[in-house]
Structure 1
Amino acid sequence: MLKESLKSLFTRDLNKLKSEIEQYQNEQAIWLVDKAILNSAGNLCLHLVGNLNTFVGGELGKTGYVRDRPLEFSQKNVPRAELISMVEATIAVVNEVLDQLSDADMERDYPQVKVVEGGSAIGFMLIHLSTHLAYHLGQINYHRRLLDI
């Protein structure tokens, strides 16, 4: 049940991420920062894609994904269509990897030692990644409503 719930949540929230990026009336606004808003929606999108491809795809699915975390926050002006394509590819990777996991796998230790506080099981890590996605998704929603003028 945990695996199916996580698949549902990741798919729902990654599709919502796509929707948020699509809803920007002004594509350049995706990359705006202002006052205390230090991360653009575009950089948060890149960060979420990098995060899930690293911790789900690379670690659990052995996809060979190599993360460049600093680039997630420094790269600018990636076209909207490319961001959306990256999110769609991430949905596929997450679902493919989760489909390969058994209930027993969810109880095993996550391959990297001490990634987050509070637990070491794969299931715990996946819950953490889902809440991380939801946190930044909320930031992107506010970013769009405040800065897409």
Structure 2
Amino acid sequence: MFLRYSHKKLLEQYWPRLRGAVEPLTDKQLWWRPNEASNSIGNLVLHLNGNVRQWLVSSFNGHKDERDRPLEFSEREGISAAELLERLGATLDEASNVLKRLTADELVAPMEIQGYHVTGLDAVYQVVEHFGLHYGQILYIVKMLTGADLKLYRELNAAGRSDLSAAHP
């Protein structure tokens, strides 16, 4: 149940909404940052890609960790929204496969990721929680830059309730 819900949040809710919000952005909007202490949408997408790849894909597939986390934040331009989303989409496809095949034994097994001693359960939870945090930041920046209503909850009726009989928060 935990893995199904994690998959649903990450791949059926956060990812399509993030992709839809970022696809129409100009390069200037993608790489805009209010100050040097803040990240651009482009940096956050690179960072999400690095985090998901490191914590889910590489760790559970036994691949060498080749993440360059500082580079995720030092990029300033030159990568289009389409390319960033393609990279993240490919990583999320791999993450989806991992989430679909994980076993209870893998969830309780000890791991070391990014210097942290965690279990598989910790790793999955970290990725979903971390993605949700930066997904929210990205949507806020998109709304600030564009003034657009992203229509994220189209299934809600006028009373703010889901009309979908099987909907869950």
Would you say same fold, with TM above 0.5? yes
Equivalent residues of 1:32, 1:147 under 8 A apart? no
Unmatched segments (≥5 aa) in structure 2? 148-169
1:130 aligns with 128
| Greater fraction strand | 2
Q: Secondary structure at the match of 2:125?
A: helix
Measure, in 2, the Cα distance between the counterparts of 1:145 and 1:34.
Answer: 14
Measure, in 1, the Cα distance between the counterparts of 2:111 and 2:84.
Answer: 28
Change (3 A) 1:113 1:92: closer
Q: Which deviates the most, 64-73 or 83-92? A: 64-73
- The TM-score, its normalising length taken from structure 1, stands at 0.85
- The TM-score, its normalising length taken from structure 2, stands at 0.76
Match of 2:137 among 131, 139, 144: 139
1:1-149 alignment to 2 at 5 Å? 1-11=1-11, 12-24=13-25, 26-35=26-35, 38-64=38-64, 66-77=66-77, 78-112=79-113, 115=116, 120-148=118-146
Q: Secondary structure at the match of 1:59?
A: helix
After TM superposition, which residue ranges in structure 1, 4 or more long, deviate above 3 angstroms? Answer: 111-114
Change (3 A) 1:72 1:113: closer
Q: CA deviation at 1:2?
A: 1.3
| Greater fraction helix | 1
Task: Determine which structure has greater relative contact order: mean sequence separation of CA pairs < 8 Å that are 6+ residues apart, divided by chain length.
Answer: 1
- Percent of matched pairs sharing the same residue: 26
